Amino acid sequence: MFQFIPKVFSGVQVRDLCRPLEFLHAKLVIHVFMDLTLRPGAQSCWNRKGPSPHCFHKAGMRDRTGKIIMQFSGRRKKVTLNQQHELYGHCLQFYCQPPLENISLTEFEGFAIDRLKLLKAVENLGVSYVKTTEQYKKKLHTEFSNLGFPHREEVDDLNSNKNLVGPTEYEKRRKDHISHFILRLAYCQTEDLRRWFIQQEMDLFRYRFSMLQSKYKTEFLHKNNLKYDTISADEKSNLKDQLINSSYAVSGTTVAEQDFYKVPFQDALDLVRTRKVFLKGGYAYIPHQDIVTIVLNDFRTRLSKALALTARSLPAVQSDERLQPLLNHLSHAYVGQDYSIQKNIGKVSLEQIDPLSGKSFPLCMRQLHKALRENHHLRHGGRMQYGLFLKGIGLTLDQALQFWRSEFIKGKVDADKFDKAYAYSIRHMFGKEGKRTDYTPYSCMKVILSNPPSQGDYHGCPFRHSDPELLKQKLQSYKLAPGGIMQILDLVKGMHYQLACQKYFELTHNIDDAGFSLNHPNQYFMESQKLLSGGREVKKEAEMPQRGQENTASNGPSVPPSRQHNTTQPLDDMGDLDSYFLDE
Amino acid sequence: MPTSDYDPACLPDLLPLYYRRLFPYSQYYRWLSYGGVSKNYFQNREFSFTLKDDIYVRYQSFSTQSELEKEMQKMNPYKIDIGAVYSHRPSQHNTVKSGTFQALEKELVFDIDMTDYDDVRSCCSAADICSKCWTLMTIAIRILDRALREDFGFQHLLWVYSGRRGVHCWVCDEAARKLSVAARSAVAEYLSLVKGGEETVKKVVLSEPIHPFISQSLIVVEHYFPQYAIVGQELLGSKASVDKVLSLLPEDILYELLNTYQTEKNPMKRWEQLRSAVHQKRATSKKGAQYFDKEIMLQYCYPRLDVNVSKGVNHLLKSPFSVHPKTGRISVPIDLKNLDKFDPFEVPTISLICEELDKPLAAAEEEEEEVKDKENETEPGERRKIRDYKQTSLAKYVKLFDQFLDAMARSRKGEILKKSDLQKEF
Ligand SMILES: [Zn+2]
């Protein structure tokens, strides 16, 4: 399982991790792995099992003032029982205290990667399953225990655990704690990363909190000093009907029995957004069973502040050539391939778009292309989703301008108006205007989860945002076999939108197994092109019987065999890290 | 009501007059300064102007009311948009270190546009509106206004006619102006019921239990629906329209009604039959949440929000008292006390009010006294302007705006008193 770890750090010469003190730049205030207290002239002695006992190498973080805010070192000091109990007395934590103990490099790596795997799993499961279902909880539980994270409320007596195999519950809690803080480092650096990290950590927290027994929930609130206002019995009986009608799980009897918390609606946005809470005068009335929402809100606020702080105290990371590759690769693992960097830029001609849209475009893009050709217009959401996709398949800025202009001026927009009102946003997509950020083509996740289409819109994911009946008709009109359509509709019903799309790929390309795990429209396009140009070996089901149904159903964590072979070869480019994390 | 025909070609000639003699600068400045409670609130506000030939100038900002006046009289914008309050003066956004220039606050805004109802209007399409479909805007205002006040606790809502085919709402409470992007989108989603784009037929699906917000909204919709939809839009008249409605029903009810409708042609009775078929099914079905009639009413009448406009802090929205270049109508505040009487076609055009400047209205004299009181406190130039707009049909809308601003000032005062009382207690 850990066989791939050296590859992760293949850009880092492990021996270089130790250097004499004078080598350090005075302004390099934050160091992970670096021993700031290293004696001048000490030589490297690192090995894969950790530093030699004679070396006082330490790794940690210091803030600008030189204060150690997190520290790891080769020599692991035993944490005292008291500390252990204080930090890890509860199976869930709010991560208020950064770890102050010492930790080996091996542990550092292992923890970071395990947590990343866990967060990836959280993300994948979140797309494939409804988060409240038993299935979701079961799958997540499996990931959780396989990766060695804590999931038990009770801790065995410390002295009686000697006979147990594997890490103790305390050790797992420690891993949860430390790994969270390591990923904060890797994920604090840009807004996108922070958003991703916060989202996954929140989902993880929600799951873990919801799994707690009631008495442990209360204990958790108490331990972390979380207090919320409750409403009086009078107010409760006055609002009884409204309270009952605002939540699925509240009934006449439970209103009387449970506490209702009254918080500003801003603190319960998830419940407000989905209209699962009663609102009055700017306050949300939250039944006790939904208290996770408020706790989660606190969790997010704190984490988001902490990440901003960490980012501010980490300016040196960018200039530290030892650290940068590691943190960058930890943090890049979440996006997969970056489809904005195109190798085949300029290789698609405008005349090819029509035939390509039928052959190699995923359904969402095919739908947008058709709508554009028919209406000579697309609204903002459609222009973004389709425009960035086209950029991703290799259209140049000039081609894109020509493409959009020629279509729009067939409609109600004249060339002058186009140049004034629309050209800007197309140049924007290519990073030529405004903030000059080069926009990345949207991933499936983004298409499915953000900015759902409304009146007049054609964007979004057809498997997610179409009426099943219309989807069926559309697939029929594309001459898909009835059996295949049924399979797709079943996947849609189970909310496996990406798998449905993958099935569509298989059906339209006439193969049994796509052999990749679809997560990006541009990936769909590339795989299709590879297949159609004969550049990819087609894998028929018969050739790989080991790929079971289970693997497909969990959406994603599947890597084509060709890549799996690679794991034994050195990687010159660490961009492939993502594939490791998809592999289980 | 005198109707002065508006000709877009005259706009360049009318705008200077409008901005010199009629635009209510002092109220406008009073609004956007919000009592001067936070520093630079007006100064850091973004304005953007659309000039002749669609030339779009963003990031305008002004340090004083008179600077704003001078600039507007110089540029004579065809359209004015209001953006966010930024961390720095928007006019200097290029000189600020990148990344530090950020949108901090803005009113929570809603934009409801009649074009979003094209699939459920038979009277008009696209940018056209008529008094029939305007009912949709009335419904939208009633539903959203109630929810924003009662559910979300906001008090200072300025409803404005967009000048053409829709309405805007500016929620100006301090709490609203400070909302995060996530909170804005949560509010907008709470208020959105009609979901799905061109690939979705059934856009409203209700589930048990019916949330109090939906029940309240249904009361409004049910009040207008028969007259508006069944009579006005002839929802159950033509075959095409009937088919569209029936496609929102499950198959068994659909066939039952197709049968009944062969003999029953009266639209109102058809609607009654539809409702009773749905109710019957609900009574006999074991499945909960069979609210097909309610879903139809909501799909046809429930307000359709442009969520993206409400979500962004830095999103621009057309300013009140800006002119609509196509219709010439002024974006005026809407009086909710007389909402059902609001007629977009009676909203004054720029040509009308400019004309009125030359022939005084009788009404202006009645209020002379009030003007005198104010004159004591205002500058001579200001006084002339007050006299000017008082002569025109714009007067009653400026008065509405004044009332809105007074209410805000009162509650600000209340807040301050409350705070000082609190301090006394300690
Ligand atoms: Zn109409």
Span A455-467, pLDDT tens digits: 889 999 999 899 8
Residue B4 CA to ligand 1 centre (angstroms): 22
What is the per-residue pLDDT for A457? 92
Distance (Å) from the C-alpha of residue A466 to the closest C-alpha of chain B? 5
Q: Is B151 a catalytic residue?
A: no
Residue B54 CA to ligand 1 centre (angstroms): 28
Encoding tokens for residue A461? Answer: 């994911």
For residues B91 and B59, the answer to whether their CB atoms sit within 8 Å is yes
A332 closest CA partner among A518, A580, A59: A580
Residue A57 CA to ligand 1 centre (angstroms): 77
- Active-site residue (options: B81, B105, B107, B113): B113
Per-residue pLDDT averaged across B39-64, rounded? 93
Does residue B121 have a pLDDT over 50? yes
The residue written with tokens 């784009």 in the block is B197
How far apart, in Å, are the Cα atoms of A269 and each of A257, A293, B103, B195?
Answer: 25, 8, 21, 19
What is the per-residue pLDDT for A195? 85
pLDDT digits (tens, 9 = 90+) for B291-311: 999 999 999 999 999 888 999
Q: Is B113 a catalytic residue?
A: yes
The H or E element that residue A468 is part of is helix A468-477
Residue of A195, A279, A283 to mutate, interface with B, max B Cβ within 10 Å: A279
Residue type, A157: D
Nearest to A279 among B117, B152, B189 (CB): B152
β-strands B166-171, B157-161: how paired? antiparallel
pTM of the model: 0.73
> Mean pLDDT over all residues of chain B?
90
DSSP secondary structure, B41-62, as one string: TTTTEEEEEEEGGGEEEEEE--
Higher pLDDT, B2 or B95: B95
Chain A contact set for B175 (CB, 8 A) = 282
Q: Name the strands in the sheet holding A283-287, side by side, starting at the edge strand that comes first in the sequence.
A: A260-264, A283-287, A278-280
For residues B141 and B336, the answer to whether their CB atoms sit within 8 Å is yes
∠ CA A149-A155-A157, rounded to 5°:
135
For residues A81 and A52, the answer to whether their CB atoms sit within 8 Å is no
**Residue ranges of chain A with per-residue pLDDT less than 70:** 1-84, 101-106, 128, 155-165, 313-344, 433-438, 535-584
Per-residue pLDDT averaged across B419-425, rounded? 73
What is the per-residue pLDDT for A542? 36
Does residue B354 have a pLDDT over 60? yes
How far apart, in Å, are the Cα atoms of A326 and each of A11, A20, A183, A284, B221?
Answer: 8, 21, 11, 43, 58
- The CA radius of gyration of chain A, in Å to the nearest whole number, is 27
> In 10 A of CB A237, how many CB atoms?
11
What is the per-residue pLDDT for A314? 62
Chain A contact set for B78 (CB, 8 A) = none
Residue B296 CA to ligand 1 centre (angstroms): 19
Residues B33 and B102: their CA atoms lie apart, in Å, by 19
Q: How many CA atoms lie within 13 Å of B281's alpha carbon, on the beta-carbon side? A: 21
What is the per-residue pLDDT for A191? 77
Residue of B199, B204, B206, B215 to mutate, interface with A, max A Cβ within 10 Å: B199
Please, is B15 exposed, middle or buried when counting C-beta atoms within 10 Å of its C-beta (0-12, 13-18, 19+)?
buried
pLDDT digits (tens, 9 = 90+) for B229-277: 999 999 999 999 999 999 999 999 999 999 999 999 999 999 999 999 9
Asked if the peptide bond before residue B209 counts as cis, ω within 30 degrees of 0, the response is yes
What is the per-residue pLDDT for A53? 41
Per-residue pLDDT averaged across B14-21, rounded? 95
Higher pLDDT, A432 or B315: B315
What is the per-residue pLDDT for A87? 76
For residues A422 and A413, the answer to whether their CB atoms sit within 8 Å is yes
Q: What percent of chain B has pLDDT over 90?
A: 74
CB under 8 A, 24+ apart: contacts of A176-179: A176/A93, A176/A149, A176/A150, A177/A87, A177/A88, A177/A93, A177/A95, A177/A99, A178/A99, A178/A103, A178/A107, A178/A111, A179/A111, A179/A112, A179/A114, A179/A115
What is the per-residue pLDDT for A13? 26
Distance (Å) from the C-alpha of residue B153 to the closest C-alpha of chain A? 4
What is the per-residue pLDDT for A17? 36
Per-residue pLDDT averaged across B197-215, rounded? 91
| Local structure of residue B278 (DSSP, 8 states) | H
Chain-chain contact of A281 with B119 (C-beta, under 8 angstroms) = no
For residues B113 and B167, the answer to whether their CB atoms sit within 8 Å is no
| Local structure of residue A569 (DSSP, 8 states) | S
What is the per-residue pLDDT for A422? 86
Bridge partners (DSSP) listed for residue A230: A261
Residues A51 and A57: their CA atoms lie apart, in Å, by 7
What is the per-residue pLDDT for B132? 93
Q: Is B118 a catalytic residue?
A: no
Distance (Å) from the C-alpha of residue B70 to the closest C-alpha of chain A? 27
The H or E element that residue A72 is part of is strand A68-73
